[in-house]
Structure 1
Amino acid sequence: MQQVPDKENQPQPDEGEVILIDKPREWTSFDVANKLKRACKFKKIGHAGTLDPLATGLLILCTGRKTKQIDQYQAQEKEYTGTLVLGKTTPSIDLETDFDAEYPTGHITGELMEEARRQLVGTIDQVPPIYSAVQVDGERLYKKARRGETAEIKKRQVTVSLFELDSSAFPEINFRIICSKGTYIRSLVRDFGELVGSGAYMSSLCRTRIGTFHLADAWALPDYILRKRTELNLSTQE
């Protein structure tokens, strides 16, 4: 007599979850995903939208079947806050690399900065930084940059719907940006510096929103791991 399988005893598909993490500074997005996979015993996990190692803020991670939604989250509008500094440049446009040049800033007026800001709002053509994960000839650009090589980088069209500036601490400029998928904030910083006749680098960056997901609702990485391991009855010493 053929037995009917007991559905309750069959392995159930991993429906997965969407996890909001406040990415720590100096962690890569892959570091966060890998840490969660090991610590929380996830079989499948991925992140939606890479953050630079020196950036902090909202990182969306999906597990199990929810990984099918990653492209959907990546395509959503993003919001950032941060600080750019006029008068110096670095090859990476942030503090990952050392300063390589200095420029005057005495000629920069509020009117000049406003004109530069306006040119960077709307649908614009943007060249990604050489220190980025964009692939050229099958290799990540940052690998070429670290070997001191150059590469022809194609422009890409992005949309910047908001670019707010606070120059009260000049030459440090605090900013808030709302933009489309694929926008490089470091490229905006580089281009802003060039438009005002100076150099610029980014000293800090935080992603505060992706679509309807907000940083205020994100977990600190250790807190999420502690909650999840407790839920799974695992040792909390991971």
Structure 2
Amino acid sequence: MTYLREKLTVTENNATNSYEEGRVLLIDKPLDWTSFDVVRKLRNQIKIKKIGHAGTLDPLATGLLIICTGRFTKKINEYMAQEKEYTGSITLGATTPTFDLESEPENFLSTEGITPAMIEQATAAFTGPILQVPPIHSAIKINGQRVYELARKGKEVKLEPRPVTIFSFEITAIELPVVYFKVTCSTGTYIRSLANDFGAALGCGGYLSSLRRTRIGAFQVEDAVPMEAVRTDS
């Protein structure tokens, strides 16, 4: 498949025409990069205007980012709609305004009395079709404005619950106050909201403390190119 060959060719000075015809590049997005940072870097590297990503990853998340070039940009919505898999950690005993570590923890509560059995049992309420309220610090638009911009201005933002599906929610390790997980979910799912809601269900609060996207449909992060492998001389 084309995307597998990119592991070898993305660092080479290939003809621009081959990218305009359409390529799928799998990138392992590093920490603190925005998804657009990756697109901008690749746009400069391969000298092409028609390029985009199939599903945003927050700056504090790492992992699989699908990049489409040329005619393959028409496939972006198709890739975005596919099932996604994540691994990460939730820190219990506090919340943050952004539901992750882009803001400071607050509302500290004790996790004493929270048992592994309680943590395992709490996943059941978040498995299957659920209604989820997106974070107010997100890129969703209200009347043409990003809600995170409104939130940063201190304006009240109310988002309605949206239907999403959590196909599996597995607790992989417990080292309180940190809980490690693996989630498979539908498009449109906010893992930050899942972390916040999970902590609320346990009565002690929680926020997303790390996140890595490991799969989108049949695309695996193991086949992705790290950004360090992309040439930096452009």
- Residue 136 of structure 1 and its aligned partner are, at CA, apart by 1.5
Query: SS at the partner of 2:21?
Result: coil
- Residue 104 of structure 1 and its aligned partner are, at CA, apart by 1.7
Query: SS at the partner of 2:88?
Result: strand
Specify every segment of 5 or more residues in structure 1 that has no aligned partner in the other structure, as ranges.
Answer: 1-10, 227-235
Which residue of 2 is the match for residue 75 of structure 1? 81
Query: Structure 1, residues 121-160: CA drift from partner, whole Å, max 9, x if none?
Result: 0000000001111111211111112112221101110000
The answer to whether structure 1 residue 147 and structure 2 residue 153 are counterparts is yes
Which residue of 1 is the match for residue 50 of structure 2? 44
Which residue of 1 is the match for residue 233 of structure 2? 237
Identity %: 52
User: Higher Cα Rg: structure 1 or 2?
Assistant: 1
8 Å CA contact retained: 2:88, 2:181: yes
- Residue 13 of structure 1 and its aligned partner are, at CA, apart by 9.3
Question: Out of 110, 135, 138, which is 1:129 matched to?
Answer: 135
Which residue of 1 is the match for residue 177 of structure 2? 171
Which residue of 2 is the match for residue 5 of structure 1? none
Query: SS at the partner of 2:73?
Result: helix
State which drifts further: 108-117 or 78-87. 108-117
Measured in 2, the distance between the counterparts of 1:146 and 1:176 equals: 31
Which residue of 1 is the match for residue 121 of structure 2? 115
Number of matched residues?
A: 218
State which drifts further: 201-210 or 166-175. 166-175
Measured in 2, the distance between the counterparts of 1:13 and 1:175 equals: 37
Which residue of 2 is the match for residue 211 of structure 1? 217
Which residue of 2 is the match for residue 190 of structure 1? 196
Query: SS at the partner of 2:91?
Result: strand
Measured in 1, the distance between the counterparts of 2:96 and 2:18 equals: 51
Across the aligned residues of Structure 1 and Structure 2, the Cα RMSD in angstroms comes to 1.5
Letter in 2 for 1:14: E
Measured in 2, the distance between the counterparts of 1:65 and 1:45 equals: 9
Which residue of 2 is the match for residue 101 of structure 1? 107
Letter in 1 for 2:28: D
Query: SS at the partner of 2:192?
Result: helix
Which residue of 2 is the match for residue 62 of structure 1? 68
The answer to whether structure 1 residue 16 and structure 2 residue 12 are counterparts is no
State which drifts further: 138-147 or 211-220. 138-147
8 Å CA contact retained: 2:20, 2:50: no
Specify every segment of 5 or more residues in structure 2 that has no aligned partner in the other structure, as ranges.
Answer: 1-16
Distance 1:195 1:13, change over 3 A: closer
TM-score by length of 1: 0.88
- Residue 83 of structure 1 and its aligned partner are, at CA, apart by 0.6
Query: SS at the partner of 1:14?
Result: helix
Find runs of 4+ consecutive structure 1 residues off by over 3 angstroms.
none
